[in-house]
Every structure is written in C-alpha cells, then in structure tokens.
Chain A
C-alpha cells in the first residue's frame, strides 16, 4: 500500500493560477504547510480563499502552477508531477472524505469500502475482510450488509471514513466532513479521525467552517487570499 517510507506531508511555496491572461485567478499564492504523521490539522478560511483548491492540489486531481509537495520522503510535485501514475497515487496514498459521503449507491456498505483494496489488486475476500474489520472499528460493523441509502447521515459518514482509511494511506484529506452532522456526531467523527491518525500514523487535513469542531484541533492553518498562516489551536480534549 503506502510505498512512501516516512510518512507525513509537506508543501512549500505552492501556487495555483486558474486560467491565463486577463482572466487569470491566483487561487494559491504561496502556501506552506507541514502535517506530521498521526496529526490532525484544521484548515479554515473564508469563502473563496483557496481551501478547495489546496485540497485538489494535495489530492493530485489538479496540477499546481509552482512549488513543491513532498509526501513522506518522496517529492511528488516540483514544478511538475514527479509521479507518473496519479491514479495509483490517489488510490494508495490519499484518502478522501467529503462533506457528503458520496458512497456508491449500488454497492453495499462492505463493498463500498472493499472497493479500494480491490482496485489495488487485493482479492475480494481479503478486501472484504479488511473492510468489515474497519467498519467494526468505526462502529458501523452491524450495518455492513446494508445499502448506503438505508444508513443515517452519521453512519454514512463513518462508512466514508472507513473507505478513506482502508488502504492505510499516509494522508487523508477531509473537506467539511462534519457539515451535515449535529455537534455530537460531528465530534464523534473528529474523535475517530484522531484515533485513526494515531493508530495508522496518518496525516489528516480537515477543511472546515464548523465552529463545533474548530476548538478540537491542536494546530490550525488559516488560509486567506491564497496564503496560509499557521496558528496553535485549542486542542480541546475529545474524551
């Protein structure tokens, strides 16, 4: 799975310009960020500040304009991709959690999660075994046979987290993962992310507007006008 020896992610002077000429938009103007393995950091900022753009760059779905991205001990971007197969990079090294769970409606809960190891070439049986174990760890094991539409919002979100985790990626990118949840469930999701980060040495970046969860981060990046500002968070205990 994760073929990057040391874990964690670092970005340096990352810029992103959409379009060209007069209509060009500089969405990122030099972003620096370091997330250590086992750490959950918050990324907050006003609308249009470039949060989603940053996540897309980190997620290797859009190409930055300049700067560097280092995943573990491997440079993945340095004014150009240094990795040939971005698809495999996403599959093996990056987990995604979205505001909406975006589960595949025609696969049951187990296969929604097991799909990733299957795509990576693991047998169906082993993939499902991993998926079910993870679903149990996330407290949705009893719903493993259900279809996504039969789950509550919080359950769906936990399944989505299981999917993000199942390939043990060194990095998880979460875009407003708690927006549709009430504060209890939102905190539960953050608790799970923290637990998983520690357990699997994952670096987790959570984009959020959610006042309920902001106090839980030990470290927060503010992004404003395409630049980041690092600050210590309250790191409020989740127990």
Chain B
C-alpha cells in the first residue's frame, strides 16, 4: 500500500510548506517561551553558583538577600569564620539600580564585594577580560550584558568607577547584569545620605534635648557619630571546607547568632519557587494560549484541506477504501504538518535565541516534550477533519 498522505503532501508541497512555516514560527515562539523560563531558572542557578557560597546568612525572618531586603552587622562574619567546617565568609551587599554611563544608563545589580582574589565568596569567579578589583575604592567589574568596555567610567550614586574587568553570565534573577564594586563603596551607595540630609539630621539631633544635654557635652558628638556610621551589610556568604556538610554550621549560626541561614537547596527553592514564580505562571499561561492557537490553526488548515478533497474521498470510499485508511491519511497529514512546523520552529527558536535581551535556554528535553505536544495537538486537531471525511457519502462520487 502506498502512503496517500505522503503523496498528497508531495503533490501540494507548496501549501504544506507555507502552512508549516507559519505554524513553525508559532511553535518557535512557544519553544522560546519555554526557553525564557528555563533561562530564568538557569540565571537563578548561575547567580547562586557565582556567589561562591555554600550557605547564606541573612537577617532573621527574611528571605534575603535576593528575594527580600536583609541587613546584618558587618562584623558578624568574624564570628562565623571561627565555626568548624567554615573555610571563608564574606560580607556582601546587593542593590539593583540604574547605573549611569556617559550618555545613557543601564539597569544593573550592583554587588559590593570584599576585594580579594577569585574564590573569595561574592567575587566573580572568572573574567573574560581585565582583572579583579584590587583597590578598595572606585573600581568595578561588570558583566558583558551591561555593554561596558574596559577602562570605561560609570557613575553609581555620587562616585565614579573605572571598569577594570568583564565577566559573562553574571546576572540577577531578573536578568539584569551585575556590576561588582568594593564593599565599602557599595555600602555608601546603599546607605549613605546626601549632604543636605546629613545637615538636617545633625540639626534635628542637636535640637533634641535628650541628646543635647548641657551637663553632658560629649553626648551630642557621640550620638551624631553613631548616626553617621553604617555598620550594615545585606548578607554573609559562607564557604565551607571541602567535604563539610552545611547543616552543622547552619544550625550553629541559627542558634547562637540568631540569624536566618539558607543552604544552597533552600536558596534555590526561594529563587525558583518564589522570586520567579509569577513570571513562570505568566509564561505557562502563554504556553497554554500558544498551544490552543496552534491547535486551532492546524485544525483549520487540515479541515480546509480535507474539504477540498471531498470528491476524492468519495471516490476513494466508492472504490472500497476503508474508513481507517482515509482517517489515517488525514491524521498523517496533520502530523506531517506538525513535523514540518516543529522543524521550522526549532530552527527559528535556535536562530533567534541569542538576540533576546534575557538568557534563553533551549533544553533538548523541552524540545522533545514540545515535539510530543505538537504531535498530540495535531492528532486532536485532525479529529474535526476526520469526522467530516467519514461523513462523506460514497454515493456523492456517482452524483445525480
């Protein structure tokens, strides 16, 4: 037996290819949506990987530092360094803001790190150009995605920084490029008040009789000094010794330092399960709609193609073709259309993934699932056409 569907497709290949390409672009969009979700998850993972931390220490009862604000005293890390199993611990601050360049600005996640070599938690692991931050002021390492070049100057709040190194794939969980600057500068950027506010604050403090007591002349100075000091960071990144389990140190810090501690897997749950959950649902919604639209298109095309063949189907039935054969022909055509569409879609998604502003991660597993979904959708979509074909009366071939 010959393949009726195959012959029909070869005969009307133009029609099939054009519809297939149209459908394919739609499937490409669908695959890209899935890729965007995977990219977000991957960004989150890369964020955690790049932090170099095994456990995160944050303010009590917060989901910091990525999903919620958190602030800690900047000397706590010293105590943590003494815990057995802990290799290194570093303060870190995170602040998402607009970073100004000469003539434009970019949205970036400014990370304050303790200057030091690679391997120090919080430091970018590897650079693609330039060097790490060595001075404790006014140097920056930026992610490529920020579009910066070595030697370029950027402005964060009141200070100007020189880009001394470039990294890759260092982005926040919302896809903003990271810019690393020394911790001291970052803390200023985050907490320092402007001059007017400082003056106003001093005046208010001086006007408060509780702080400005005639009998205690040094009190006012002491209060003002404590107000302008800023002993806070957002989190402490802790690296364990090789082979050490995170639970021991984590429990110890929780119990004795009264702080919140997250392990790597808990942090992943926060980022994927909470931070990008809404975006993920948004994408899922898109996927559902795109699937329905694809199904509608396939159904419509196959139905139209079938209606155009009513006469041939009547003849086929008259000369004794089984219903099963005719249904199979339509089903195979629908699947053929789906396969063309899938191939086009996969190619399109792969070609346009790099030009998306956020990371698009096309997983082979998603492609396989997408292929199965396309085939199933095409099969469902052909039901309408198959019903129409089965209703065709062989007597129609004889006519009046």
Contacts and interface: CB of A to CB of B under 8 A. Distances in A.
Interface of A: 52, 55-56, 59, 61-62, 87-88, 90-92, 96, 98-99, 102, 104-107, 111, 115-116, 118-120, 124, 147, 163, 175
Given A52-B398, A118-B2, A102 B315 contact: yes
B345 interface: no
B268 interface: no
Contact of A124 (B2, B316, B397): B2
Given A91-B319, A102-B315, A104-B316, A118 B394 contact: no
Contact of B319 (A52, A55, A56, A115): A115
10 contacts: A52-B398, A61-B395, A90-B394, A106-B11, A107-B2, A107-B4, A111-B7, A115-B319, A163-B319, A175-B399
B8 A106 contact: yes
A190 to B, nearest CB: 20
B12 A106 contact: yes
A118 B325 CA distance: 12
B320 A55 contact: no
A83 B153 CA distance: 92
Nearest to A102: B315
Contacts of B8: 106
B2 A98 contact: no
Given A61-B398, A107-B7, A118-B2, A90 B312 contact: no
Given A102-B311, A115-B2, A119-B1, A87 B398 contact: no
Given A107-B7, A124-B1, A98 B319 contact: no
B396 to A, nearest CB: 9
A104 B315 contact: yes
Nearest to A92: B320
A104 B320 contact: no
Q: Which interface residue of B312, B317, B325, B399 has the most chain A CB atoms within 10 A?
A: B399
A105 B11 CA distance: 8
Interface string B1-25: 1101001101110000000000000
Contacts of B2: 107, 111, 115, 118, 124
A62 B318 CA distance: 11
Determine the interface band of chain B, counting residues with CB < 8 A from chain A.
Answer: 20 to 34
B42 interface: no
A123 B94 CA distance: 74
Given A105-B11, A124-B2, A119 B320 contact: yes
Given A118-B1, A118-B2, A124-B2, A96 B318 contact: yes
A96 B319 contact: yes
Nearest to B315: A102
Given A52-B399, A104-B315, A115-B319, 19 more contacts: A52-B400, A55-B398, A56-B395, A59-B318, A61-B318, A88-B320, A91-B319, A91-B320, A92-B320, A96-B398, A102-B311, A104-B316, A105-B312, A106-B4, A106-B10, A116-B320, A118-B2, A119-B1, A124-B2
Interface of B: 1-2, 4, 7-8, 10-12, 311-312, 315-322, 325, 393-395, 397-400
A175 to B, nearest CB: 6
Given A96-B319, A115-B2, A104 B312 contact: yes
B321 A119 contact: yes
B397 A98 contact: yes
A90 B320 contact: yes
A61 B320 CA distance: 10
B395 A62 contact: yes
Contact of A116 (B7, B319, B397, B399): B319
Contacts of A52: 398-400
Nearest to A95: B319
Contact of B393 (A55, A61, A118): A61
Given A106-B12, A115-B319, A99 B399 contact: yes
Contacts of B12: 106
A186 B398 CA distance: 19
Contacts of A98: 397-399
A90 B398 contact: no
B319 A175 contact: no
List 7 A-B pairs, minimum CB-CB distance, nearest first. A91-B320, A106-B11, A61-B395, A106-B8, A61-B394, A102-B315, A90-B320
A199 to B, nearest CB: 21
A119 B329 CA distance: 14
A90 B319 contact: yes
Contacts of B316: 104
Contacts of B7: 106-107, 111
Contacts of A105: 11, 312
A54 B218 CA distance: 121
A146 to B, nearest CB: 13
Contacts of A102: 311-312, 315, 397
Nearest to B7: A106
A74 B312 CA distance: 30
A116 B316 CA distance: 9
A104 B315 CA distance: 8
